[in-house]
Structure 1
């Protein structure tokens, strides 16, 4: 199970490091081509979301890697499940029906939470 966890969690962490990093540093204009929803959200909230994604990515990897409080990896994965449920709601509320990526991330986060809990 450990190899499966590292595969799923590693892919999630890479995605959220990239996406969170973009949200943390890019301007609204530079985010808009990738994330049209930023027009409906205040930039401080976008920045905070980026910070949460960066911290969550670290939470998937560092506790399991160091052996310090490994249960926090489960909490980080569950946090990403909640994040994607919210993201899907935002997309649908804004009339954007392209939520396949969000659904995939939700399923991967759920799998990471389960794998972290059982291994």
Structure 2
């Protein structure tokens, strides 16, 4: 189970690291034109804040456990991603973007799995 938690955490870190860096480094208009239409509904600062949270969560899923410094941050990062995915699903539901909600649900379940595993039976 420990290996499965590491694999899922690594996958989540890669997905959210790339997505967060994209939101931090690209302009809101560029993101909207490249398929992230929801960015039209929020301010540029909100897009950057979401990107920053995603990057921090990606780092929090891997680095604390890797270096053995405050490993409790791993399940906290995963729980934070669950909240981010709830917000994303609500946003996509309001915009009637149903395929995006399915992606949010999968990522939410994976993050919840890591949070459950690292808070509970497979803590560091």
5+ residue gaps, structure 2? none
Query: Which residue number corresponds to residue 13 of structure 1?
Result: 13
CA displacement at 1:86 relative to structure 2 = 0.7
Contact 1:4/1:115 (<8 A) preserved: no
**For the residues of structure 1 that align with 2:110 and 2:52, how far apart are their CA atoms?**
20
CA displacement at 1:95 relative to structure 2 = 2.3
5+ residue gaps, structure 1? none
1:3-22, Cα deviation, whole Å (9 max, x unpaired): 11110000000000100000
**For the residues of structure 1 that align with 2:2 and 2:35, how far apart are their CA atoms?**
33
- How many residue pairs get aligned? The number is 119
Query: Which residue number corresponds to residue 55 of structure 2?
Result: 54
User: Normalising by the residue count of structure 1, what TM-score does the alignment of the two structures yield?
Assistant: 0.95
The higher relative CO (CA closer than 8 Å, separation ≥ 6) is in 1
CA displacement at 1:34 relative to structure 2 = 2.5
1:83-117, Cα deviation, whole Å (9 max, x unpaired): 10111001111222221110110000001111212
User: Normalising by the residue count of structure 2, what TM-score does the alignment of the two structures yield?
Assistant: 0.92
Contact 1:81/1:110 (<8 A) preserved: yes
Contact 1:20/1:49 (<8 A) preserved: yes
Query: Which residue number corresponds to residue 96 of structure 1?
Result: 97
